[in-house]
Amino acid sequence: MPSVSLTVNGKAVAADVDPRTLLVQFLREHLRLTGTHVGCDTSQCGACVVHVNGKAIKSCTMLTLTADGANVTTIEGLAPSNTELHPMQAAFREHHGLQCGFCTPGMIMTAVDMVNRKGNDLDDKTIREELEGNICRCTGYHNIVKAIAAGAKTMGSGGGAQRAAE
């Protein structure tokens, strides 16, 4: 089996993998980072979104071998520490942007990427269009849109990390 080495959430990892192993399988099954989810098999739902070299990608649509040498961030690596939350995580909680929680990691990773690309002042229309690749069945998106707008603002105001426990 070919070997692969990459950085995941700041840690160097190396492994021998079956060449057909998808990045999401590698994260979930080899590294036990189960926060990244699989909700479909056609790259539609976005539950598997992670950051590869700073950009949001659907980890169900990338082979692990393609990620050789890459820098990967998953939902587990987004917060600055175990006791703090990333502002986007905090915004999802504050604005009730999640119910069952299954699509949430992908939503949050997409949202952070959206802010990185589109800035901190996001209107509803932009957010809704940018969420084309993320499906939520619980929230009807209303509160996700609110959470992303608020999270984007906090990220811009240098609000930085928030305490995990309130």
Partner 1 sequence: MSATGIGAAVRRKEDFRFITGKGQYTSDVTRPGETRAVFVRSPHAHATIKSVDTTAARGLPGVLAVLTGAELAGDKIGNLICGWMIHSKDGSPMKMAPHPAIASSKACYVGDPVAVVVAETLAQAKDAAEKVVVQYEVLPSASDPAKAQAKDAPQIHDVAANNTIYQWHLGDAKAVDAAVKSAARVVKIDLVNNRLVPNAVETRAAIGEYDTGSDSFSLWNTTQNPHVARLVISAFVGVAPENKLRVIAPDVGGGFGSKIFIYPEEVVCLWASKKVGRPVKWVSDRSEAFLADAHGRDHVTHAQLALDADGKMTALKVKTIANLGAYMSTFSSSVPTYLYATLLSGQYEIPAIYCEVDAVYTNTVPVDAYRGAGRPEATFVVERLVEIAARTLGIDVTDLRKRNFIKKFPHQTPVIMNYDAGDYHASLKKALELANYKEFGKRKRESARHGKLRGIGFSTYIEACGIAPSQAVGSLGAGVGLWESAEVRVNPTGSVEVLTGCHSHGQGHETTFAQLVSERLGIPIESVSIVHGDTDKVQFGMGTYGSRSGAVGMSAIVKALDKVEAKAKKVASHLLEASENDIVFKDGKFTVAGTDKSAAWGEVSLHAYIAHKFTGQQLEPGLKEGAFYDPINFTFPAGCHICEVEVDPDTGGTEVVGWTAVDDFGTVINPMIVEGQVHGGIAQGVGQALLEHAVYDRDGQLVSGSFMDYCMPRADNLPSYKVDMTVTKCPSNPLGIKGCGEAGAIAAPAAVINAITDAIGSEDLAMPATSQVVWAALQKANNSRHAA
List of E strands, 74-151: 84-85
Q: What's phi and psi for 21, nearest 5 deg?
A: -65, 125
141 binds partner 1, rule: CB under 8 A:
yes
21 neighbors 62 (Cβ within 8 angstroms): no
Exposed/middle/buried for residue 166 (C-beta within 10 Å: 0-12, 13-18, 19+): exposed
State which residue, 69 or 88, has the beta carbon closest to partner 1: 88
**Residues numbered 15-54 forming contacts with partner 1, rule: CB under 8 A:** 18, 20, 28, 32-42, 44-45, 47
Residues that bind partner 1 (CB under 8 A): 18, 20, 28, 32-42, 44-45, 47, 74-76, 78-79, 85, 89-90, 92-94, 96, 98-105, 108, 124-125, 127-129, 131-132, 134-145, 164-166
